[in-house]
């Protein structure tokens, strides 16, 4: 019933190379994310506009269905290409993607019959660590692209969204590192150090 989608379509301009495939403590970063989410869903796929480098992972890799709208194109593609009615979307630069928090969001989506369950931190909403109902979210995301929007959440007012405040899941992320993404070499080194400590 659940498709996991890893977004790997970014240009990694601040890193200088494709960070999804950069070695993170001895393995490609995206391989670490795959491993951390193993068993959470029924299917796993990757959205990447240059699919070939990811073929070695043995997962289905798809490019943007409607390119040109940045991260929104990636979310739309995830929803359009998922085989299951519920979709988990995460990003290739979250080395501490949190399976426990994702399972909590999955539970809320089903039990409360909403369309999106998304964490809200002090920095704002986290659409790349969220879960989506394909049936309702796909047409809303596609309509937003057709109307020229690029913000990932530009279509949220058309669906039922449940926000999870940080205080509701702090027990699942006691170190506060779930949403730590790696965009620069300095952030990369910090994340590797934290991972080496067993996080």
| CA 172 centroid distance within chain | 18
Q: Is the separation of the CB atoms in 104 and 173 below 8 Å?
A: no
Taking every pair of C-alpha atoms in the chain, what is the biggest distance, in angstroms? 46
Mean of the per-residue pLDDT values of the chain: 94
pLDDT along the chain (199 residues), means of 10: 91 65 95 97 96 95 95 97 98 97 98 98 96 98 97 97 95 95 92 91
Task: Give the CATH architecture of domain 2-196.
Answer: Alpha-Beta Complex (3.90)
pLDDT tens figures, 51-84: 999 999 999 999 999 999 999 999 999 999 999 9
The SS3 assignment for 46 reads strand
pLDDT number for residue 183: 87
Q: Is the separation of the CB atoms in 35 and 156 below 8 Å?
A: no
Q: Delimit the domains of the chain by residue range.
A: 2-196
pTM for the whole thing?
0.95
**Angle, to 10 degrees, between the axis of helix 134-146 and the axis of helix 70-81?**
140
pLDDT number for residue 15: 53
pLDDT number for residue 16: 54
pLDDT tens figures, 155-171: 999 999 999 999 999 99
């Amino acid at each position: 019933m659940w498709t996991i989608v890893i977004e790997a379509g970014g240009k990694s301009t601040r890193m200088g190379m494709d960070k999804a495939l950069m070695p993170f403590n001895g393995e490609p970063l995206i391989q670490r994310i795959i491993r951390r989410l193993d068993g959470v869903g029924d299917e796993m796929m990757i959205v990447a506009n240059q699919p070939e480098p990811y073929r070695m992972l043995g997962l289905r890799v798809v490019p943007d269905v409607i390119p040109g709208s940045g991260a929104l194109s990636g979310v739309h593609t995830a929803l359009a290409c998922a085989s299951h009615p519920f979709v988990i979307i995460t990003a290739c630069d979250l080395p501490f993607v949190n399976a426990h928090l994702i399972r909590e969001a999955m539970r809320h989506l089903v039990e409360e019959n909403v369309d999106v369950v998304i964490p809200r931190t002090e920095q704002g909403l986290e659409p790349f660590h969220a879960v989506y109902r394909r049936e309702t979210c796909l047409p809303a995301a596609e309509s937003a692209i057709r109307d020229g929007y690029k913000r990932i959440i530009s279509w949220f007012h058309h669906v039922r969204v449940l926000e999870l405040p940080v205080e509701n899941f702090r027990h699942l992320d006691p170190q506060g590192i779930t949403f730590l993404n790696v965009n620069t070499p300095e952030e990369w080194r910090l994340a590797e150090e934290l991972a080496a400590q067993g996080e």
